[in-house]
Structure 1
Amino acid sequence: MFNNYQDIFFAVVGDVHGYIYTMIDLLQQWENSSNQQLAFILQVGDFEPHRHEADLATMDAPTKYRKLADFPDFYEQRAIFPWPIWFIGGNHEPYGFLDQFNTGTEITHNCYYLGRVGSLVLAGLKVVGVSGIYQEEKFHFDRPKVSQISSYSNKDYIIFTEAEIIQALGYKSTDILLLHDWPANIINPVDAEEFEQQCRSRCYYDLVGNEYAKMLVYELKPKLVVCSHLHKIYRNKISLTSGNLTDIFCLANVQSGADAIAIFHLSKTGKVTEFTQRKIESRR
């Protein structure tokens, strides 16, 4: 689809939780206010592409949060995505559906699942994504097969495994790394108080994230790392062993408004920079 670096804009979106029309509205506001067009969208988990009630039954979430929301309109093509979108899985997904496609697939027109671990090239940028969150007690074991999901807890399907981290490390290098769970040690100590005050649940800055996501950052050496999960916006730069800097973007959920999206410009030289001149309203 894309082979060489192109002079384009693209967006990355945080947790959607099924509110696809809200996501589209936020992105179209940016296009209208900036007089620019987006080439593609990347999304970092908790997309929640539930087709029907049977999909909801395979999602790990309290009953009050199990809602079909907007995706059936897009799956049945009563509505279409205005841009191609690629997403990874979070911890609130219909894995009974998605785990039929561990290596990824187009699940409806213009909407692509990257799989448990996936890679692709867009506009000359190599993108790697890892679905799920870290849980220490399950990390070293294989997940049950999706055909057995009714015999297991849905919680057994929301994690990434050691084998998947090894698979992701095999890509060796990348430009953009998509994660749902935060890497460890990405919060600057000077931001600790602000972070802990704004975090939606009690948390300590130095305990946030996991070492395996951090390992991917340092081994794959991406220009850009994007994650979500905590519904909190955060920006930082970290220095890699190569001496290069990696931009860290943690995004909120789409119901928070503009904090859920980040817009980037890709130059023909391959430089990726955030485009901050935007006017987007918060829609709650």
Structure 2
Amino acid sequence: MGSGAFESQGVRVAVEGCGHGTLNAIYASVKQSAQERGWDGVDLLIIGGDFQAVRNAADLTVMSCPVKYRHIGDFHEYYSGTRQAPYLTVFIGGNHEAASHSWELYYGGWAAPNIYYLGAANVLRLGPIRIAGMSGIWRGHNYRKPHHERLPFNADDVKSFYSIREVDVRKLLLLRTQVDVGLSHDWPRRVEGHGDLDALFRQKPFFRRESMDGSLGSAAAEYVMDRLRPPYWFSAHLHVKFAAVKRYDAPNPGEAVGADVPVVEAAPPVHQDNNPDEIDLDTDDQDVGKPDGSAIDINTGAPETEMGEEVEGTAGQVPDDLRAQLPASFARPAEGAKRIPGQPVPPGIENKEVRFLSLDKCLPRRHFLQLCEIQPFKKDQLSLYPAQASGPRYRLQYDAEWLAITRAFHKFQTFGDATAQVPEDLGEESYLPLIEAERAWVEENIVQKGKLDVPENFEVTAPPYVPGTPEVVQEQPEEYTNPQTAAFCELLGIENLWDASTEERQERRAQGPAMAQHVGRSGGGGRDGRGRERGGGRGGGRGGFRGRGRGQRGRQW
């Protein structure tokens, strides 16, 4: 692979940054960019979060957004069938989403015909390439909480819903084979150090402090990138085009496979060869300005600890002379080496170079779209998954390894209960036998029976928006059982925890949302909601319930 270009003759992909409910403009830009490339279209459009799959005005009540910025967008036209998505579209969630819609599709599913939401975390296959994605952003104090949110939401739920959860990341960190594309809404932590920092800080000077103190980006996404090491990783969130190359050293002789560490160096300059797929590592986006206050929180507080845990102080420490007099049973246990989540990397993951690209949101004169041809890391996948001669070149499919992990973790899944404890991470060695057993089950019951194709089974659940009616309402949406989630659970032979009786839902709605636990600003620093946002998870829960380059800049529409 050349140092500055995507290889050709692969899957034709368009990548867009933040969606912000502007599907019509995004699709129009993809069409024009493809025509300029001499393509008749793309195989896949990836949107990196803040998609805003808003079906109606009620969905806006549970989207993290000031009331004055509530806008219905144009997704509802695709949801209702008024418009048809011209390209297969896959998106992850960000921190501005219709939580009520995302809630129905925890495992992923069609948000509208030909528009697929990856869910909280997922791995899918499109022909020869495997795509892994994670939704949400990093908020340390919510990381180890369960998925406790259920309608009706209080203010805390609206914020906590989009927080990445450790239990979902844990599943991604158990993948043992190579993926080709990684997706996260916010940037993997410290990835900016592998690109042109001076150029980044010229465009976004307020990023400098956060980059220096380590609070820029997501620790969870960093763990996943360092484990999966896909050749390509796309993000959004920070509303700037930025490219980097993260390289990993090969292990020393005798060293455990996967114990290698990332090389912390700036990416080399890219030769200008007029390749339309080139990711320019010396981008100088002229759209420099103040941060968009409606979408990015600029925090001024002290950074939070890595996992949102309290910093242990000196109060209450026992002096050494007194400690020596205590019985042996009072001695501190020996501290083991700190385990880095997802490490060591298994031998099935061989790539040593990750090309990172973040893109802007769809606005005029913004770098929000990149067209590229992506080949799989393992070239034999091209012959195993050839393009079809008619219709879509490739079909979206479930990933057998991911299905096995999903089945293995179902027994640990909690949902809808704020008092629930997320099961302790038992370690990769403990999970492997469980996953191997489930892999055999998946092979027998899904793979051999030809059930890996993602079914085109979209159904409307919430009523679609009626043009001309108010966009700002007070009443929250109803809770629905999505038939796609039910079908997925049936496919895997697991209980659908996202189902409930009409009576239970009526009772919850009558009771109203639980009392919010925090009413003031949270004290933590760092981007991505760890400061300058309302506080943590819901309190007093009811318990007991199951539960976007060289491609095309933005255009004037």
Q: TM-score, normalized by length of structure 1?
A: 0.89
For the 8 Å contact 1:34–1:277, the answer to whether it is kept is no
Q: Which residue of 2 aligns with 1:220?
A: 228
Deviations 1:220-278 (A, max 9, x none): 1111110000001000101124471110001100115561111111348867xxxx764
For the 8 Å contact 1:6–1:123, the answer to whether it is kept is no
Alpha-carbon distance between aligned partners in 2 of 1:282 and 1:109, rounded to the nearest angstrom:
26
For the 8 Å contact 2:14–2:369, the answer to whether it is kept is yes
Counting only pairs closer than 5 Å after superposition, residues 57-68 of structure 1 correspond to structure 2 as: 57-68=61-72
Secondary structure of the residue aligned to 2:73 is: coil
Alpha-carbon distance between aligned partners in 2 of 1:251 and 1:52, rounded to the nearest angstrom:
28
Q: Which residue of 2 aligns with 1:265?
A: 373
Counting only pairs closer than 5 Å after superposition, residues 46-57 of structure 1 correspond to structure 2 as: 46-57=50-61
Deviations 1:114-156 (A, max 9, x none): 1000110012111011000001111111132333524743101
2:358 counterpart (242, 245, 250): 250
CA change 1:137–1:26 in 2 (3 A) is same
CA change 1:21–1:91 in 2 (3 A) is same
- The reply to whether residue 32 of structure 1 matches residue 305 of structure 2 is no
Counting only pairs closer than 5 Å after superposition, residues 23-172 of structure 1 correspond to structure 2 as: 23-36=26-39, 37-150=41-154, 152-172=156-176
- The reply to whether residue 283 of structure 1 matches residue 286 of structure 2 is no
Amino acid in structure 1 at the alignment position of 2:77: D
CA change 1:189–1:130 in 2 (3 A) is closer
Bigger relative contact order, structure 1 or 2 (CA pairs below 8 A, ≥6 apart): 2
1:239 counterpart (247, 252, 257): 247
Alpha-carbon distance between aligned partners in 2 of 1:214 and 1:147, rounded to the nearest angstrom:
31
1:13 counterpart (12, 16, 21): 16
Alpha-carbon distance between aligned partners in 2 of 1:210 and 1:279, rounded to the nearest angstrom:
28
CA change 1:103–1:268 in 2 (3 A) is closer
Deviations 1:17-57 (A, max 9, x none): 00111111110111111111211111111000101111101
Counting only pairs closer than 5 Å after superposition, residues 174-185 of structure 1 correspond to structure 2 as: 174-185=179-190
Alpha-carbon distance between aligned partners in 1 of 2:166 and 2:220, rounded to the nearest angstrom:
9
Alpha-carbon distance between aligned partners in 1 of 2:353 and 2:15, rounded to the nearest angstrom:
19
CA change 1:186–1:279 in 2 (3 A) is closer
Amino acid in structure 2 at the alignment position of 1:248: F
Which protein shows a greater Rg? Answer: 2
Alpha-carbon distance between aligned partners in 2 of 1:28 and 1:248, rounded to the nearest angstrom:
24
Deviations 1:90-136 (A, max 9, x none): 00001111111100111211001110001100121110110000011
Percent sequence identity is 22
- Give the number of equivalent residue pairs: 276
Q: Which residue of 2 aligns with 1:188?
A: 193
Amino acid in structure 2 at the alignment position of 1:29: Q
Unaligned runs of 5+ in 1: none
Shift of 1:8: 3.4
Shift of 1:86: 0.7
For the 8 Å contact 1:96–1:149, the answer to whether it is kept is no
Secondary structure of the residue aligned to 1:188 is: helix
Alpha-carbon distance between aligned partners in 2 of 1:251 and 1:151, rounded to the nearest angstrom:
29
Shift of 1:61: 1.1
Structure with greater strand share of residues: 1
Alpha-carbon distance between aligned partners in 2 of 1:83 and 1:189, rounded to the nearest angstrom:
32
Secondary structure of the residue aligned to 1:134 is: coil
Alpha-carbon distance between aligned partners in 1 of 2:157 and 2:205, rounded to the nearest angstrom:
26
For the 8 Å contact 2:368–2:553, the answer to whether it is kept is no
For the 8 Å contact 1:133–1:180, the answer to whether it is kept is yes
